[in-house]
Amino acid sequence: MFGRRNSSGVVSFPKARKPGLEDRVEPKLVDVEASDPADLADDAMAGIEPDSRGGADDDDELFVGNFRDDRGKDETEAGADTAAGAAPAETAQDHDETMEKMVDAALAGLRDDVDIRFGHELPRGELAKRVGKILDKLAGRIDIALTEDDKRDLITATLNEFLNGNAAAKKEKPADTGNKGQATSRSSVEAAKERVQPLLMERIDVGKASELPRAELTSQISDIVSEILVEEKQQLNLLEQRDLVNMLLNDMIGLGPLEVLLDDETVTDIMVNGPKQVYVEKSGRLQLSDVTFRDDRHVMNVAQRIVSQVGRRVDETTPLVDARLLDGSRVNIIIPPLAIDGPSISIRKFAKHKITLDKMAEQGNLSQEMNRVLKIAARARLNILISGGTGSGKTTLLNGLSRMIDPGERIVTIEDAAELQLQQPHVVRLETRPPNLEGEGEITQRDLVKNCLRMRPDRIILGEIRAGEALDMLQAMNTGHDGSLGTIHANRPREALTRLENMVAMAGVKLPNEAVRAQIAGAVNMIVQISRMRDGMRRITQVTEVVGMEGEVITTQDLFKFEFKGEDADGKLIGEFKSSGLRPHFTPRAEYFGLGRALLEAMSAGVEGAA
């Protein structure tokens, strides 16, 4: 059974008959009381009598209604097709999804009917009768005709889930038992994947399969996987089959085991330390995940897939590379011989929901008064430098500030790996390029800064200032490109100014220190310091304004500062954002944009709030 090509050249998978669930998976039950598993399915079906379909009581509506809501859209579409003269066709995938939803609904009804703590005391035959009655009512209410084979599998799957819950409830530590059950299920799926994947690859045209939409590919792969499971006598329930298909698809067209972590919105960082150790960051804290790779080669395949999407490479000649995912998430990859314990992949994820300054204020990353002042600073076209350590949220804050830029302005962004997500319509995104195999063709950030000055930008945004491009950026800020933004690694605003001065020296141009400092004082208007604190939360700890020069020293004044007060019972740090109450040096500029009064009100409100 190999993939066949039709006249258009598109892969054609073997069309299997739509099998009953019994053809795909042999029914099985968890043996809670050491009974013979082979007899459980027969016991489950014994004595089941179809219940009346004439109606449902209030308890039935609790789970029937939920199921009906899930199917509402499909039924509406099917009805439209029927009205137009087309008979709605149910695919194997639709059938499986319907069965999964019915298992969930039946399980909810059974748990309402039987206390999970005492369910193990009832005979299995009695439990099977109750499940059968629930399924009959459910099928009648949503107008689904169940075959005996479907009904047998639904009862088996429902009892499986219910008895698993009973086993967990009987233990003194239910959380540990649940984790053990999940680990057992995962290991069975992993074992099945090892046997199914080689056989699947023999039956399909991988090149053509990768060109199909994921939904269509999922449907066709599910049919073939079901056949292989029957042939190999592998016993997996519906949920395990779905997980197996997802894992196979992730390996074929996705990023393998990392897809699960990329889909988890609570994960902000993913760190792969070789094939058997994958850490994630959740709520600002690192924890070891249960995701693993098969071996170093598996990790390398995923790494190659990531870098190939952005036209880069990673191999022995180029063992480290910066790249990005399609959603803009930042990726760093380093492989042996530089990485001793195996290939290492670090992914800095971007939230799917865009984070604004207002959202950051709601989360406690800054105060409402700081929020208003930063918005005014961005609208008044101040040159702002965002300072912070690794993973402190500099890029997120930069994205938030960029939302204050007028949609009519032309913006040019310059980055090593494009990750900024600007919402304005007139944006030109530039990205550096590493050298080729011959060591030629490299384009640095400094080259791009020089070039962008000829592109008539209204604002220049530099993703990260790290070397000689600092000099060109300062010159741009001093020659009419006000309102520009950039980030820099530093622990305090004063250190950010010192680092900026040092990076100007890296440009190879010999300038007196006084001249460099004067240029910095004239170019940079504000420094925003952001930090990731020990409770995992990112907070803006200082908003510092660059005032000018006194002798050879750059003078600054703090507008806001976070003051630590203590720690609550949950380990969350307590503090307050205090306003200095000083009149901002850029007040005349804010007045020019009609924002002077709002600026002074925000500063005075910050003082009153702190008091």
Tokens, residue 212 = 């199909």
Q: Assess whether pLDDT exceeds 50 at residue 348.
A: yes
Tokens, residue 540 = 């803006």
CA distance 222 to 242: 8
Amino acid letter, 367: S
CA distance 113 to 63: 12
List the one residue out of 606, 607, 587 whose CA is nearest residue 597: 587
- For residue 256, the SS3 value is coil
Q: Which residues contact 321 (CB under 8 A, 6 or more apart)?
A: 307, 312, 313, 314, 332, 333, 334, 434
Q: Assess whether pLDDT exceeds 70 at residue 561.
A: yes
Look at residue 429 in the predicted model and tell me its pLDDT: 92
Q: Assess whether pLDDT exceeds 50 at residue 325.
A: yes
Give residue 84's Cα distance to chain centre: 41
Q: Which residue has the higher pLDDT, 370 or 11?
A: 370
Q: Assess whether pLDDT exceeds 90 at residue 541.
A: yes
- For residue 561, the SS3 value is strand
Give residue 64's Cα distance to chain centre: 33
CA distance 347 to 207: 27
Q: Which residue has the higher pLDDT, 42 or 138?
A: 138
Look at residue 412 in the predicted model and tell me its pLDDT: 93
Question: Quick one: what percent of the chain has pLDDT higher than 90?
Answer: 27
> Are 99 and 151 within 8 A, CB to CB?
no
Name which of 155-159, 267-271, 311-315 the model is least confident about. 155-159
Name which of 111-125, 322-336, 597-611 the model is least confident about. 111-125
Q: Assess whether pLDDT exceeds 60 at residue 6.
A: no
Look at residue 70 in the predicted model and tell me its pLDDT: 47
| Inter-CA distances, 287 with 182, 270, 274, 489, Å | 18, 10, 16, 25
- For residue 254, the SS3 value is coil
- DSSP notation for 449-467: HHHHTTS--SEEEES---S
CA distance 70 to 101: 8
Q: Assess whether pLDDT exceeds 80 at residue 358.
A: yes
Instruction: Kindly report the pTM of this predicted structure.
Output: 0.61
CA distance 88 to 332: 48
Residue keyed to tokens 């699960």: 260
Torsion sign (Cα): 298, 434, 488, 420: negative
Q: Assess whether pLDDT exceeds 60 at residue 483.
A: yes
DSSP collapsed to 3 states, 98-128: HHHHHHHHHHHHHHHHCCCCCHHHCCHHHHH
Task: Give the highest mean pLDDT range of 71-80, 95-104, 525-534.
Answer: 525-534
Q: Which residue has the higher pLDDT, 545 or 567?
A: 545
Rg over alpha carbons for the chain, rounded to the nearest Å, is: 31
Q: Assess whether pLDDT exceeds 90 at residue 370.
A: yes
Q: Which residues contact 149 (CB under 8 A, 6 or more apart)?
A: 20, 21, 22
Tokens, residue 197 = 């994947």
- Distance separating the N- and C-terminal Cα atoms of the chain: 77
CA distance 228 to 235: 11
Residue 29, burial from CB neighbour count under 10 angstroms (0-12, 13-18, 19+): buried
Q: Assess whether pLDDT exceeds 80 at residue 71.
A: no
Q: Which residue has the higher pLDDT, 287 or 111?
A: 287
Q: Assess whether pLDDT exceeds 60 at residue 233.
A: yes
List the one residue out of 403, 414, 499 whose CA is nearest residue 449: 414
> Are 372 and 291 within 8 A, CB to CB?
no
Name which of 41-45, 295-299, 485-489 the model is least confident about. 41-45
Q: Assess whether pLDDT exceeds 70 at residue 3.
A: no
Look at residue 530 in the predicted model and tell me its pLDDT: 95
Mean pLDDT, rounded, for 446-474: 89
Helix, strand, coil shares, percent, the chain, to 5: 45, 15, 35
Confidence of residue 84 (pLDDT cuts 50, 70, 90): very low
Look at residue 209 in the predicted model and tell me its pLDDT: 74
* Tens-place pLDDT, residues 488-530: 999 999 999 999 999 998 888 888 888 999 999 999 999 999 9
Q: Assess whether pLDDT exceeds 60 at residue 195.
A: yes
Confidence of residue 437 (pLDDT cuts 50, 70, 90): confident
Look at residue 119 in the predicted model and tell me its pLDDT: 52
Domains of the chain: 31-80+90-170 (no CATH), 357-610 (3.40.50.300)
CA distance 504 to 471: 5
Look at residue 21 in the predicted model and tell me its pLDDT: 36
- For residue 488, the SS3 value is strand
- For residue 610, the SS3 value is helix
CA distance 232 to 116: 35
The pair phi, psi for residue 525, each rounded to 5°, is -100, -30
Confidence of residue 127 (pLDDT cuts 50, 70, 90): confident
Q: Assess whether pLDDT exceeds 60 at residue 294.
A: yes
> Are 461 and 452 within 8 A, CB to CB?
no
Name which of 100-109, 129-138, 192-201, 205-214 the model is least confident about. 205-214
Mean pLDDT, rounded, for 581-609: 87
- DSSP notation for 508-539: T----HHHHHHHHHHH--EEEEEEE-TTS-EE
Q: Which residue has the higher pLDDT, 279 or 107?
A: 279
List the one residue out of 203, 290, 196, 289 whose CA is nearest residue 251: 196
